[in-house]
Structure 1
Amino acid sequence: MTGDGFDPVSFLERAVPVASNEDVGAMRDLLVETLEANGADPTVDDAGNTVASKGASDPETHLVLNTHIDTVSPHIPYSREDGTIHGRGSCDAKGPLAALLAAFFSADPASDSRVTLAITPDEELLSTGAAALDVDGDLYIVGEPTGLDVCTAAKGRFEGTVTLGGVAAHAAEPDSGSNAIDALAPVLDALRSFDDDRPAHPELGPATLTPTMVDGGENSNQVPAECRLVVDRRSVPPETADGFRSSLLETLESVVPEGIDVGFELTERPTPFLEAFATDPDHDLVTTLADASQRVGGRGDVRPFTAATEASYFSPAPVVVFGPGVLADDEGAVAHADREYVHTDDVRTAAEALVQTVDHLVS
């Protein structure tokens, strides 16, 4: 239990049973109720973000604590045994939320500092909340299951479709047309070699480009006039979504055979893609949180995060990802899996590490 009486595990026991996979309304109500019961004055904006602040209105240092209340489907019921809470959202990301709440309630900002809790409603789908979030922070801590490690970087994720256009013809006379599917061969070769001359990121390693879905052709006895290939891009800084699109299209145009048209467009979405980010591992935000985590029982490790997060929306301001729970363990997937869980001791450890970090940064 933190010094102000808020118990993050008790909150988590209330939060995990609340389904927030299809509609976050009930979970947001619980969050607002909890904030108000602990003296905060939260607001909910038009995008569904829940925001509460304390401290100076024009601060020199503004620390933002962020995570999300939505979960993936299906909802998995709550259970608890032997110091472990099971259920959808237990580690992704209601456990991190509980720890962030403890830090926010304990915060006592100095006269020139401000702390804001900003909780988004749509991280697992389109990040509509984060894209609309009107919070201008200097430092950000994003709650996700990191095993109490401090994560300073993450790859971005882009998705798009390569379209190959040829000329239909009878399969008995294949040379009378232009086979769009046959043109996949040089395209796939180009995808495999796309990053050969690009340096790996010092923390995140190399970017990846993976073909994931393909379709084309209309009849089994016809030279296909069109073929579509979906690709998944895991980017590293400083690549942007627009930069990737332009670079890949230029590469593909240079390899497709004569008579084949090629195009590449990113998948349409109402919000920006989650791009890669990287924070200096020596920044005070990083070292403070890593030291605090180690002091209260974590490893204190600093490493990249293996999944894309809304932290990318807050970069290039210094941002780290931190929280109790893990994405996967020795048995397999944890977050987004039927066996999702978080250890209550880790929730308390994360809360104490965050309390100490917030105190150092803004008090």
Structure 2
Amino acid sequence: MSRRGQRLTHLELLERLVSFDTESSKPNLALMDVVCDYLEGWDVPFVRVPNAAGDKAAVFATIGPMVDGGIVLSGHTDVVPVAGQAWTTDPFALRIADGRAYGRGAVDMKGFCALALAAVPDALAADLRRPIHILLSYDEETTCLGVADTIARFGADLPRPGAVIVGEPTGMEVADAHKSIVTYHTTVHGHEAHSAKPMLGANAVMAAADLVSELNRIADAMIARGDASGRFDPPATTVHVGTIAGGTARNILPKVCTFHWEFRGLPDLDMGEIPALFAAKVAAVTRERLNRYGEFGRIETVEEVAVPGLAPEPGSEAERLALRLAGRNHTISVPYATEAGRFQEAGIPTVVCGPGSIDQAHQPDEYITLAALDSGAGFMRRLIGECGAP
């Protein structure tokens, strides 16, 4: 991507980042090779943090002194799929038109990654007294676990940061809160029998229907509880069943029924509350329906993804810094989950603030405006000024 020490604009870097198909199901190593080559060209120290399978990696780079208390600019390199979407042009070839930069990941969130990388030469020239770290991750769109192994090294063989700015698209507003998301796959195991003789088996579909009804009840209870903060839309923890499948024929007691479900919790929700309510219903359904006539059935629930929410920390270092840099005087909440909660769980003050609008993400002809990128570049210049020599 670069000759040694070559200065590249954020658009040039964005063009290169977008050119890699880094859908979450695919490796990101080729993109990271290019990023590392760019960092090496500027003699920026970095570490690659591979996943267990070795087909993906995060990169953590440091500009400035190798000390604790720095600022992390965090962005993910994975993108959502393009299959089935009607793109005007190649989604992995950046197209500039009408004041916009089009491409998969342009706004979510390779634009922010490009801005952070483009700021490297100026950050080096500023002789920083406080380090600026760039953390590029993977798997944000699926699990938000691509930062976990790097976070685990903070304060060990990597400096422990003082604040984190996650650059998801917020229109450069400063978000200090978002919901959690926890997803599950439930399998109800019944026992096949003739539908005329239900006492000879266990109906997995009807048992699953009881469980889905319980999730409806929990969802209604969460709506009634509402959002005391008044900051979220919708103003409640939400519970949702997305798929359900089971049975083989009308006159056979279904042997298996499966369904996928999730909840998106307000930051103050006890993350164990909904699973505990569901588990109590599972025990009752297993006892009273599946095994009414004998030891015929069982129910298994597997947690697939658990992304923590981001809780407000009024007056935190991350909030104060981001508000200054963005020229804002208040914070917002966002409806989507991010990696920010992972950093907050580790005790690091974190906010979400980045260029562009989430409304353009995940769609065909995804784009970020050139004005939004320029605004993000100004944010980077002010951050360098904050961290530079007095």
Tell me which amino acid in the other structure corresponds to 1:123. Answer: E
The match for 1:44 among 43, 48, 52 is: 48
271, 275, 283: which one pairs with 2:308? 275
* Equivalent residue runs for 1:247-262 within 5 Å: 247-254=277-284, 258-260=288-290
User: Separation in 2 of the partners of 1:258 and 1:109?
Assistant: 70
Question: Residue 121 of structure 1 aligns with which residue?
Answer: 138
1:305 aligned onto 2:334: yes
- Deviating above 6 A after TM superposition, structure 1's stretches of 4 or more consecutive aligned residues are none
* Residue in 1 that maps onto 2:184: 160
**What amino acid does structure 2 have at the position aligned with 1:340?**
E
Q: Does 1:188 align with 2:218?
A: no
Q: Specify which of 200, 217, 237 is matched with residue 207 of structure 1.
A: 237
Q: What's 2:326 paired with?
A: 293
- 2:296 matches 1:265: no
TM-score, scaled relative to structure 1: 0.82
Q: Which residue is 2:164 aligned to?
A: 140
Q: Distance in 2 between matches of 1:255 and 1:82?
A: 58
Contact 2:163/2:317 (8 A) holds in 1: no
C-alpha distance after superposition, 1:257-312 (max 9, x if no partner): 713256352345xxx62221223244342243234323xxxx76622222222222
1:62-141 equivalences in 2 (<5 Å) = 62-74=70-82, 75-103=91-119, 105-107=121-123, 108=126, 111=129, 113-133=130-150, 134-135=153-154, 136-141=160-165
Q: Does the Cα contact within 8 Å between 1:84 and 1:344 map onto a contact in 2? A: yes
User: Can you list the C-alpha shifts for 1:30-55, whole angstroms capped at 9, x where unaligned?
Assistant: 32233233442333233322121133
Q: In the aligned structure 1, how far is the partner of 2:374 from the partner of 2:341?
A: 27
Over aligned residues, Cα RMSD in angstroms?
Answer: 3.0
Pair 1:320–1:105, CA change in 2 (3 A) = farther
Segments of 5+ residues of structure 1 without an aligned counterpart are 329-333
Cα distance between partner residues in 1 of 2:379 and 2:22: 27
Residue 180 (structure 1) shift: 2.6
Alignment partner, residue 331 of structure 1: none
User: Which of 335, 348, 358 is equivalent to 1:327?
Assistant: 358
Q: SS of the residue aligned with 1:348?
A: helix
| Unpaired runs of at least 5, structure 2 | 1-5, 52-56, 83-90, 155-159, 291-296
Find the aligned partners of 2:202 and 2:139 in 1 and give their Cα distance: 44
Quick check: 1:32 aligned with 2:36? yes
Residue 57 (str. 1) matches residue 66 (str. 2): yes
1 or 2, which has the higher helix percentage? Answer: 2
Distance between the aligned counterparts of 2:41 and 2:228, measured in 1? 45
* Matched residue, 1:151: 175
Aligned pairs, how many? 346
- Could you tell me how far 1:241 is from its partner in structure 2? 5.8
